[in-house]
Structure 1
Amino acid sequence: METCITPFPNDGAGDQLKPFPERLYAVPPRIASGSVPGISVDAYLKDNTMWKKHVKAYKRINSILDTGRYRNIMDMNAGLGGFVAAIYSSKSWVMNVMPTIAKKNTLGVIYERGLVGIYHDWCEGFSTYPRTYDLIHANGVFSLYKNKCNLEDILIEMDRILHPEGAVIIRDEVDVLVKVKKIVAGMRWDTRMVDHEDGPLVPEKILVAVKQYWTVDGV
């Protein structure tokens, strides 16, 4: 097994990692050292604050978000891992996905926060071994892939990896969400569009959905 373990770098960064769960909100060493282009300590702290605010709004929309009902969770565009840190519970397991076309590669930050993560191109299928998901969070995913592949292809893949009666939270621009809402109506998802927590004048909206349990004969 030793050959499978990546050693800490010799710059002492590994010694700076705090024990979990303190690591969730501590400034990751690579951000503190300025090793992540475009991400300062201040930007990292602001991102944490923003996601705490977003998740607080999500909990008002979905009252069972905090109950442990969603054990397997996926964040399709994890960024700095702020969503997962804000929603963290010992009752859940979260897969953080870093899109291969993301402008900033922050998977290392996610690892230093003590979280699990992976690279993936959402124009392709996602390996569901060893699990599928109860809750999928998609922040800006459809805007990111708007000119890369069809929205339908991404939504069908989301439907495939989502448990029946599982939930989806999609945060994106309103014009994108209107198209998404129209598509998922044919997938038997119950949906609701919600204004941004800062009010209806913000062009970013939230689409919440639940995948219905159904069979071919309707029983």
Structure 2
Amino acid sequence: MEHRERHCPDPNPRCLVPLPSGYRIPLPWPKSRDMVWYNNVPHPKLVEYKKDQNWVRKSGEFLVFPGGGTQFKDGVISYVEFIERTLPTVEWGRHIRVILDVGCGVASFGGYLLDKNVITMSFAPKDEHEAQIQFALKRGIPATLSVIGTKKLTFPDNAYDLIHCARCRVHWDADGGKPLLELNRIPRPGGFFVWSATPVYRDNERDQNIWKAMVALTKSICWKVVARTLDSSGIGLVIYQKPVSPSCYDKRKNNNYPPLCDQKDGKNSSWYVPLSHCLSLLPVDSMGNLFSWPVPWPKRLSSKPPSLSTESGAVEMFYEDTKHWSDLVSDVYLNDLAINWSSVRNVMDMNAHYGGFAAALIDLPVRAMNVIPIDVPDTLSIIFDRGLIGIYHDWCESLNTYPRTYDLLHSRFQFRNLTQRCDVLDVIVEMDRILRPGGYIVVQDNLEIINKLSPILHSLHWSLTLYKDQFLVGKKGFWRPTFGETKS
């Protein structure tokens, strides 16, 4: 999988991505979940490759997503309900709020879980099926390009409530079990892994050898099987649970292998970090107490996050931040800025801190990807505790996504740090790449920074408005330079 991992160009390209012929403004949510303009993602290969599995069909000017899948023989809604019947503890949208879908295909699993107040980070690599993640984002479903290869995923430790894999084509026992050890790192204690794959329910030699390897590996990391069953179509799944206490780790038979990771490995160091052979530690606070599961959704959005610092004033700072964003979004963002919110679905907060901006948008039909830059304090665990999703990123590099996949990019007092590390022009070109025509940026910053950004955005033919000398709103147009045209 190494050749499918992140490989950023150096230096960053300063060219503008052309629009596909016939590009149109995306359909609004929730219509976009079920269909997108074909000319916006003109990729017919997956339609042909998966035509018998009802993933995606071409219908006139549209690509239509019927909610099928390799493992969803009776449709994704039936499959989602089957999981909850198999393990009622799941309680979609109350106990289980934040999910990672490994090898998500076109992300129908995550798309239909949104109806149950579950938010899913869907991921898959760019592979022979063409742009599955681009399909997902065009549909308005949170997703990112990623693969379990040689480096850790860009998520914090102990973050997800549940991880899902339906025929995700990951060899969990490869390289001494490194892929499964990485998977063990990211669910919270007591979190679940739903594995729907042929080794669970087929008895041929190949599948049974994989199953035996999985049994041995899951025992070695103290996962327990809490359910294993078949649905009416003969598709089977097994549900594992991560331990809530480290007591099992010292009782393992095989010489305590894999070993526990050293504390010095760092709490959430996963940016460009190689996969390891060790078992990540369960989280504890400064007093050595194990973290509790967050309170049920939706209370967890505004409650004290389990991973919040125990330092004096941390709780007050968190609640003040929550109130600040609630007031600011209500008073300014929704009323005073030149944004048509009915056209916005995919939002990215480029410097999310506690996720307050995303939390303040929770009642709108938008979904925010929260980004914690690698050069600021790490608060991504807090964002996941709140029932939101996010990733780590270095904004001096390209983002791991396709062009034109976001409707609004939000940046708050971020560019001063960036200008000390890289050229602001590179960052603007990358923002232009990932924002769709007709999409918006909102930059809250001082006038010095705004005066640096405005000429660059004007040169790209963006329309700009400034509110109270600190909120710069840019709207991207359809302009692209023609051959031979130069622009100062």
TM-score, normalised to structure 1's length? 0.84
Q: Does residue 46 of the first structure (1) align with residue 320 of the second (2)?
A: yes
Query: For 1:115 and 1:147, how far apart are their aligned partners in 2?
Result: 30
Match of 2:305 among 18, 28, 42: 28
Distance 1:27 1:93 in 2: 22
Deviates more, 1:82-91 or 1:124-133: 124-133
1:111 aligns to what?
Answer: 384
Give 1:118 deviation, angstroms: 0.7
User: Aligned-pair distance for 1:58?
Assistant: 1.1
Q: Could you list the per-position Cα deviations for residues 65-122 of structure 1 after superposition, in whole angstroms to 9, with x for gaps in the alignment?
A: 3x3x2111100000010000001246222111000001x2101101101111111110
User: How many residue pairs end up in the alignment?
Assistant: 203
- 1:146-196 Cα deviation digits (max 9, x unpaired): 211111110110000001000110011111111111111001111011116
Q: Tell me if the contact between 2:404 and 2:437 (Cα under 8 Å) persists in the aligned partners.
A: no
Q: Give the C-alpha shift of residue 41 in structure 1.
A: 0.6
Question: How many Å separate the matches in 1 of 2:349 and 2:188?
Answer: 27
Distance 1:38 1:94, change over 3 A: farther
Aligned match of 2:292 in 8, 14, 17? 14
- Give 1:216 deviation, angstroms: 4.3
CA distance in 1, matches of 2:320, 2:446: 21
Q: 2:472 maps to what in 1?
A: 207
| SS at structure 1 position matched to 2:419 | coil
- Amino-acid identity (%): 35
Helix, strand or coil for the counterpart of 2:451?
helix
Matched letter for residue 124 of structure 1: E
Are 1:62 and 2:62 an aligned pair?
Answer: no
Matching residue of 1:83: 357
Residue equivalent to 1:101: 375
Deviation per CA, 1:26-79: give whole Å up to 9, x if none.
Answer: 110122x61xx67611000000111112212111213533x3x21111000000
Q: Answer yes or no: is the 8 Å Cα contact 1:143–1:173 preserved in 2.
A: no
Residues 1:189 and 1:121: Cα distance change in structure 2 (over 3 Å): same
Q: What is the CA distance between 1:213 and its match in structure 2? A: 1.5
Partners of 1:185 and 1:173 in 2: CA distance = 18
Letter in structure 2 aligned against 1:83? F
Worse overlay, 38-47 or 166-175: 38-47
Which residue pairs with 1:71 in the alignment? 345
Kindly indicate whether the alpha-carbon contact (under 8 Å) linking 1:51 and 1:82 is maintained by their aligned counterparts in 2: yes
Report runs of 4+ in structure 1 exceeding 3 Å deviation. 9-12
Q: Give the equivalent residue in structure 2 for 1:150.
A: 423
Question: Which amino acid in the other structure matches residue 328 of structure 2?
Answer: H
Does the C-alpha gap of structure 1 residues 153 and 63 become closer, same or farther in structure 2, counting only changes over 3 Å? closer
TM-score (norm. length: structure 2): 0.39
Change beyond 3 A, Cα 1:39–1:124 = farther
Unaligned runs of 5+ in 2: 1-164, 166-171, 173-179, 190-243, 246-288, 483-488
Q: What is the match of residue 199 of structure 1?
A: none
Which range moves more in the overlay, 38-47 or 144-153? 38-47
Q: Which has the larger radius of gyration?
A: 2
Asked if the contact 2:398/2:430 (under 8 Å) is kept, the reply is yes
Structure 1, 69-78 or 89-98: larger mean CA deviation: 89-98
The separation in 2 between residues aligned to 1:49 and 1:214, in whole angstroms, is: 39
- Larger RCO (alpha carbons 8 Å, 6+ apart): 1
